[in-house]
Structure 1
Amino acid sequence: MDAESEAGADGLQGLSALADPVRRQLYDAIAAQDEPLTRDDAARAVGMARNLAAYHLDRLVEAGLLTTTYARPPGVGGPGAGRPAKRYHRVREERTVSVPPRDYELLADLLATAIDADGSGALRDALVRAAEAEGRSAGAGDEELMEVLAARGYEPSVDAAGDIVLRNCPFHRLSRTHTELVCSLNQTLLGSALESRGDDPARAELCPQEGRCCVVVRAEPVLRDS
């Protein structure tokens, strides 16, 4: 099987696993957490028996949607502590399926490469304008801000400080090779969405963190010394 066929098969296997509503519940419960969950934690989160949860969790691992680690709870160790618990967390690599095969990722990479190589800055300016327009469109409806962000794949959650952290970057693969471009695009899009809602666009602030979108939507804009 060639690489393209293998990638398609992996994607189909992942989609098939998520077609089961029980497995989708478990996957969503784990994806909603920053830290891995044990079988007991996952079972409680969706209200099912531990043994049944364990079975479906392992099927999700086989499908390549979850991965596992082993660890004891913080502060527990030494003789009599027992074996480390199996913990499940989401695989960050996305799975896509296209029939017949399409390669939109390659197209995005080519476009981003062209923008980075354009010495005149005209292509980047055009991208900024497009991101601003998309942001204004995204923020123009009646949905709550969290709904707008969730609908575009950002997986928003509110932290203890009241900031909205974005647990997923919709452009994750491209961000690894064109980080500055993608982060700037995210900030422009989100700032324009805020502005179209009558909010301060400066709330969309660059704050790169591993495993998250590079933008944080602040509860209030952070004041900087001039």
Structure 2
Amino acid sequence: MSEHAPNLAPDMERALGALRDFTRRDILLRFYADRKARSVDDVARASGVHRSVAFDHLERLVALGYLEVERRRGLPGKPAKIYRLTGGPLQISHPMRRYDVLAEALAEALDDRLIKQAGRSLGRSLARPEVRSTVSALEPLIEMGGDYELGLGGRIACLNCLFAEACRRAPSICVFHAGVIEGLTSSEVESLGFLSPSGCAYLVS
């Protein structure tokens, strides 16, 4: 690399490594579109490539930190590899923007009551009239890229949190997210904390 070339941040280099190849990019974006776990054969079939090609790209995405590997019982003595999305969002920005640092500083300056109130105000501004279910109430966040799954007893699992990076630095951002859901659903919402590296859980009363 030339001494005059820009010093790319590690996250940007990682994203470029994942996106540079067309087939690898297609495979990774399929994981983001549908976060279910997949085998090599699943990926090869969906992408229209040979199994060995799919395997090479999957292993590269594991090395880059976007996928993780699980084992499930396959043929005797040969457990099948299953790949699951583990990385955060793909972001390419130069110079880097660190909104997570900003969120952490603001969260430390405010108490949880004010943070939740701010989230509630945002939720109300996004809310749509005459929603008939929790799922339809969450549509504004889903359209932004959020992924929610409803469970029993009013539990909401956020599988892809729009604020995940900020939450990891300042967990009180989960309180903000709870406030947003309150504003959207007109119900009381409690944050239950992290569900996974990419999401969290909430309880709607």
Task: Give the TM-score normalised by the residue count of structure 2.
Answer: 0.71
1:153 to 145, 169, 177: 145
* Structure 2, unaligned runs of 5 or more: 1-6
Q: Which has the higher contact order (CA 8 A, sep 6+)?
A: 2
Check conservation: 1:30, 1:42, Cα contact below 8 A: no
Task: Confirm whether residue 33 of structure 1 aligns to residue 35 of structure 2.
Answer: yes
Q: Confirm or deny: 8 A CA contact 2:72 2:82 kept in the other structure.
A: no
Paired with 1:163 and 1:22, the residues of 2 have a C-alpha distance of 37
Q: Deviations over 1:1-55 (max 9, x none)?
A: xxxx46x243244145336564344224434335x422123334x2534334223
Compared with structure 1, are the counterparts of its residues 138 and 210 closer, same or farther at alpha carbon in structure 2 (3 Å cutoff)?
same
Using a 3 Å threshold, how does the CA distance of structure 1 residues 101 and 164 change in structure 2: closer, same or farther? closer
Partner residue in 2 for 1:132:
120
1:137-187 CA distances to partner (integer Å, 9 max, x unpaired)?
2223799445423233321235588965310222223323432x2222111
Which residue number corresponds to residue 210 of structure 1?
195
The match for 1:81 among 61, 66, 76 is 76
Q: Is the 8 A contact 1:149 1:156 kept in 2?
A: no
Aligned to 1:91: 86
- Of the candidates 152, 159, 182, which is equivalent to residue 191 of structure 1? 182
What is residue 4 of structure 2 aligned with on the other side? none
Greater fraction strand: 2
TM-score normalised by structure 1 residue count:
0.65
Percentage of matched positions with identical amino acids: 28
Query: Quick one: which amino acid aligns to residue 83 of structure 1?
Result: K
The amino acid of 1:33's aligned partner reads R
CA 1:10–1:92 in structure 2 vs 1: closer, same or farther (change >3 Å)? closer
Contact 1:10 1:63 in 2 (8 A): no
Q: What is the Cα deviation at residue 107 of structure 1? A: 1.8
Aligned length in residues: 193
Contact 1:154 1:213 in 2 (8 A): no
Aligned-partner Cα distance in 2 for 1:147–1:41: 29
**Matched residues in 1 for 2:200 and 2:41: separation?**
29
Task: Specify the code of the residue in structure 2 equivalent to 1:84.
Answer: P
Could you say if the C-alpha distance between residues 175 and 102 of structure 1 is closer, same or farther in structure 2, counting changes exceeding 3 Å?
closer
- Unpaired runs of 5+ in structure 1? 196-200, 222-226
User: 1:15 and 1:134, CA in 2 relative to 1: closer, same or farther beyond 3 A?
Assistant: farther
